[in-house]
A and B are shown apart, each in its own frame.
Chain A
């Protein structure tokens, strides 16, 4: 069964967010990595790039297909996971750990209110009929 840690926030685009003060680490959920299958390539932005909430910020590719990753919040990229170049499979293996994608410096912390809790996200997946 898929796992959704309760200390994270989630989006309907299947990203998770770990908020720490004014920064947030972003990755894709266990559900998303299972749907994608074996991740073989991850394309991430550069440190300093800025995104509005819901902008595509990168691409995650499985053997078969390309999926976009969407910024859960507006902000500036302060870190990207350099491990993704050599070990994209970390997205499958540790989606909430070493498989993180980027860290953002938030430009509008009010947007946090629009994110889902773990239980709300699980409820959303049920409604989608995808779990």
Chain B
């Protein structure tokens, strides 16, 4: 029996097509993936992301404890700042990718993928030195409000001062009378907020956002649009583009791994060694120059030999192009490099392009 977020009934009333995602009953779309995608690129979209997990470190030593588990450096953050980070295994591969929120040195909240939550929590429990992690996932619902009209929409609905809440900053305050963590983060490439609230308040907040957002052309958006939006940005999806067998350097996420930070982190030595020896395969973004759509798992070929694999691909609704992400040997990773993607027995030409694929005009 799939788990349900507090917005499950709301999704069904809106005609959401429900699918199982990581053990959760979630809407993949309401009306059309392309229509929902476009709403986020041109107006504003709402996503229920309450299935995400939240793990808290609280008390003296919380920052130091969490900071040794994640690759980014919370000690360099201000209170009210968040960072994108990895949890890595000893080989430098991903246990998960997360966003860590620094409320204070004594309160850190790590937001993890739904599919990995139980694994992450057990992993943290086994490795945390200092304060104990607490699984707070059942205490938070989360609604992402994303799009060029998202910031103004949320501002109209809160007395909180958001003028200093820049990218990857957050504050706390009421939105539509619902107490929220108001975080300037997202997974779409558009401006906006992610709002964390108590599960019992989620429906009130969702309905208020839909109502107030009507004048902006707000649409509820499903996981389908979430995936096409993030793919156009080459944002990694755990289980597709990053996993426990590809290192953070191979994934192009060296920038979230602070090799020199005090105290280090799990996986640091493997990354330092790989950095010194050279990274032999890299995650690249490519466009198909022939007909077809690359999909997760399709082989990447060079001169007829299998040299890599597609990790994500779609027809980019904003780009109107067939795009993909995949691991290739380092010598094929430069912009302009060419290779083929095997699609149902055909070798379809592709070229490495600059990412993100989508750039705001």
| B33 A61 Cβ-Cβ under 8 A | no
* Nearest CB on B from A94, distance (A): 16
Specify which chain B residues have a CB less than 8 angstroms from the CB of A63 in the assembled complex. Answer: 33-34, 37, 224, 227-228, 314-315, 317
A66 at the interface (CB under 8 A from B): yes
Specify which chain A residues have a CB less than 8 angstroms from the CB of B344 in the assembled complex. Answer: 43, 59
Q: Given A61-B315, A63-B34, A64-B224, verify A41-B293 contact (CB < 8 Å).
A: yes
Would you call the interface of chain B mostly helix, strand, loop, or mixed?
A: mixed
| B292 A43 Cβ-Cβ under 8 A | yes
* Nearest CB on A from B244, distance (A): 25
Interface size on B, residues (CB 8 A): 19
Question: A47 to B1, alpha carbons, bound, how many Å?
Answer: 47
B322 at the interface (CB under 8 A from A): yes
Specify which chain B residues have a CB less than 8 angstroms from the CB of A122 in the assembled complex. Answer: none
Question: A40 to B228, alpha carbons, bound, how many Å?
Answer: 12
Specify which chain A residues have a CB less than 8 angstroms from the CB of B293 in the assembled complex. Answer: 40-41, 61, 66
A62 at the interface (CB under 8 A from B): yes
A98 at the interface (CB under 8 A from B): no
B28 at the interface (CB under 8 A from A): yes
A52 at the interface (CB under 8 A from B): no
B29 at the interface (CB under 8 A from A): yes
B contact residues vs A (CB 8 Å cutoff): 28-29, 32-35, 37, 224, 227-228, 291-293, 295, 314-315, 317, 322, 344
Q: Would you give 27 A-B contacts (Cβ < 8 Å), ordered by A?
A: A37-B28, A37-B29, A37-B32, A37-B33, A37-B224, A38-B33, A38-B34, A38-B35, A40-B293, A40-B317, A41-B291, A41-B293, A41-B315, A41-B322, A43-B291, A43-B292, A43-B344, A61-B315, A63-B33, A63-B37, A63-B227, A63-B315, A63-B317, A64-B33, A64-B224, A66-B295, A85-B291
A contact residues vs B (CB 8 Å cutoff): 37-38, 40-41, 43, 59, 61-64, 66, 85
